[in-house]
Amino acid sequence: MSVTEMIEKAGVVGCGGAGFPTYAKLRNGVEYFIINGAECEPLLCTDRFIMRNFAANVVSAICAVNGEIGAKHCCVALKESYGEEIKALTSAIEESGAPISLHLLRSFYPAGDEQIIVYEITGRVVPSGGIPPDVGCVVSNVATMLASYDAISGKPFISKYLTVNGEVKNPLIVNAPIGAPLTECLSLAGGAAIEDYCVLLGGPMMGKIVAKEALTGMTVTKTTSGIVVLPPDNRLANIQRMSVEHMSRRAQAACIRCSQCSDLCPRNLLGHLMEPHKIMRRLALRRNPEELPLDDEVVRSAALCCECGICELVACPMELQPRRINALLRKRLSAEGIRYPKGLGQKKTHPFIEMRKVPTGRAAARAGVYKYQKRKIDAFAEARPESVVLPMTQHVGSPCKPLLPDGADVSRGQLIAASPEGKLGSSVHASIDGKIEILHDAIRISSERRGG
Ligand code: SF4
Ligand code: SF4
């Protein structure tokens, strides 16, 4: 079986983003194989933990994968401030003797964005509407490489490392079986340090705020990167709580057409035709993003937005939300099957691209989470839940279908669900021993129910 097939069989998906199945990303004939260790979002430090503690496994997986895809250059990109991680990777690379280089990045946001990292390393620009292979690159990340190492060793993708940070008693890294309750991960951090709180799923720039009550019932998925406990009145919660109507009314009334959102937009700086201030101008003529016509070129350019959040959390002096408006438009465009034509409107990179990089500390400060940013998290715990709930969609592609009947006994690592053959998708394996219960769009495994 090839390395790619082993990775497919193990159900590995990209740990750093939307969950694109890793096997489908690995292409032969590219020039660069880039592994992202930049850990883009402030407050999350899972990838740093992985690089410090599992550098040899990560390097071994990079060698195995590149042995198959045969890229000429193999490079791990991480921040120049990551002293211990640089040391751990350097010695693992030296020991392996593999021609893997380290590319050190400044500490800016979004350094770990796929298209930014391609530009930083190769000087090439992924064309608007395109993907890294268009310029000879495959990008993965260190957590995905660790999961690939397990896959090559015959272990399916059944657990996830995640950061638990913010207003918790003991911030830490948790390794949790996929499907573990998020409340259990929070308990391992000693629980919330404040009585009233909300929870950020993911990082402050791109994550989603949920009420503390909503956390019960939510579980770790293949793409969970972290949970951050925040006071309920923090800036991120206030922004996300605002209704679409209210947000649109504010945009109409308060946008001063300063174009700072476009000036700092990383996609715009790469030369893509992404000009959020123009979308805001269009919105001034309508009541709601739902009413913006999708045949308008400016409206369609929302498809180029990577939802990094710089425009609304860092750039806009009026605290408006171009990112959220773009996200609503992207949903509409995707529902209509409208794709952005590759390369349309592509310009040269902006001459100020270097000086307009947003320092990570500034991004954290603007998001109102700077006080948690400087923590170095070394504490670690394993979650051992008695039951897990595994969603059938944790990845890009076709949802999985259960392969076993309700009530079947399963063992940890056993294949329990798969996407239809021939379709882009992934498989799901039991992350604990137990008895399965088929739910509407998930499978529950309860260890206490095993054997009746
Ligand atoms: S979220 Fe804003 S800054 Fe980021 S890519 Fe989209 S428009 Fe640009
Ligand atoms: S930065 Fe804010 S005020 Fe300025 S154009 Fe963009 S949305 Fe409008």
Q: What is the pLDDT of residue 451?
A: 47
Tell me the pLDDT band of 153, cut-offs 50, 70 and 90.
very high
- d(C-alpha 265, C-alpha 5), whole Å: 38
Identify the nearest ligand to the CA of 258 by its number.
Answer: 2
Average pLDDT over residues 251-280: 95
Q: Mind listing the pLDDT tens digit for each residue in 108-139?
A: 999 999 999 999 999 999 999 999 999 999 99
Question: What is the distance in A from the centroid of ligand 2 to the CA of 317?
Answer: 7
Q: Above 90 in pLDDT, residue 17?
A: no
Q: What is the mean pLDDT of the chain?
A: 94
CA distance 380 to 191: 15
Residue showing tokens 């890793």: 22
pLDDT bin (cut points 50, 70, 90) of residue 285 is: confident
330 has a pLDDT exceeding 50: yes
- 420-437 tens-digit pLDDT: 988 999 999 999 999 999
Query: Would you say the CB of residue 326 lies under 6 angstroms from ligand 1?
Result: yes
Q: Binning pLDDT at 50, 70 and 90, where does residue 449 land?
A: low
Residues with Cβ within 8 Å of residue 392, at least 6 apart in sequence: 399, 400, 401, 402, 417, 428, 441, 442, 443
Whether the CB of 373 sits within 6 Å of ligand 2: no
Rounded distance between C-alpha atoms, residue 200 and residue 215, angstroms: 10
274 Cβ inside 6 Å of ligand 1: yes
For residue range 225-259, list pLDDT tens digits in order.
999 999 999 999 999 888 888 988 888 889 999 99
For the entire predicted model, the pTM comes to 0.94
Is the CB of 314 within 6 Å of ligand 2?
A: no
Distance 256 CA to ligand 2 centre (A): 6
**Which residues are within 8 A (CB) of 297 and not within 5 positions of it... i.e. 6 or more apart?**
none
User: Are the CB atoms for 113 and 308 separated by under 8 Å?
Assistant: yes
Contacts 24+ apart (CB under 8 A), 401-405: 402/436, 402/438, 402/443, 404/436, 405/438
Please report the pLDDT score of residue 40 as a whole number.
Answer: 84
Which atom of ligand 1 approaches the CA of 308 most closely? 4
Mean pLDDT of 188-201: 96
107 lines ligand 2 (CB under 6 A): no
- Axis crossing angle, helix 46-53 with helix 142-152, rounded to the nearest 10: 50
Instruction: Give the pLDDT of residue 287.
Output: 75
By alpha-carbon position, which residue is closest to atom 3 of ligand 2?
Answer: 255
> Kind of pairing, strands 226-230 and 159-166?
parallel
pLDDT band of residue 338 (cuts 50, 70, 90) is very high
Q: 126 CB less than 6 Å from ligand 2?
A: no
Average pLDDT over residues 18-31: 90
3-state secondary structure of 274: coil
With cut-offs at 50, 70 and 90, classify the pLDDT of residue 322: very high
pLDDT of residue 62: 97
Query: What is the DSSP code (8-state) at residue 307?
Result: -
Q: List, in order of start, the domains of the chain with CATH numbers.
A: 3-152 (3.40.50.11540), 159-234+369-382 (3.10.20.600), 249-363 (no CATH), 387-446 (2.40.50)
- Nearest residue (by CA) to ligand 1, atom 4, is 308
Band of pLDDT at residue 288, cut at 50, 70 and 90:
confident
Is 239 within 8 Å of 322 (Cβ atoms)?
no
Write the pLDDT tens digit of every residue in 395-420.
899 999 999 999 999 999 999 999 99
> How close is the Cα of 265 to the center of ligand 1, in Å?
5
Count of residues making up the chain: 452
